[in-house]
Amino acid sequence: GGWEYNLIDGNLHWTPVAREIHELDEDYKLTKMDRIKFIKDPRIISLIQNIVKNSIETNESWDLQFVINTMKGKELWVRSIG
């Protein structure tokens, strides 16, 4: 699944596969908090925020694996590449 984050207006868009991975209904309205809401470990949230900020500033890529909790409470390992 993929996602896009608009730096200008802060809008977040997830592909249908990303929604399926997170077990979201098709009509679920994404919010800014959904960027981090499903990440299980708070240390990973901070790490991702720093990595994304650095990527925006330096154009460096990232490749992380971490655990999320889906909307239905299932734990999944996911990989984020950007």
Q: How confident is the model at residue 19 (pLDDT cuts 50, 70, 90)?
A: very high
Q: How confident is the model at residue 13 (pLDDT cuts 50, 70, 90)?
A: confident
C-alpha 28, offset from chain centre = 15
For residue 49, CA distances in Å to 35, 46, 54, 69 come to 10, 5, 9, 18
In this predicted model, what pLDDT tens digit does every residue of 27-72 receive, in sequence order? 898 887 787 889 999 999 999 889 989 999 999 999 999 999 999 9
Sort 68 into a burial class: Cβ within 10 Å, 0-12 / 13-18 / 19+: buried
Structure confidence at residue 23 (pLDDT): 96
Structure confidence at residue 59 (pLDDT): 95
Average confidence (pLDDT) over 8-15:
87
> The whole model's pTM is what?
0.81
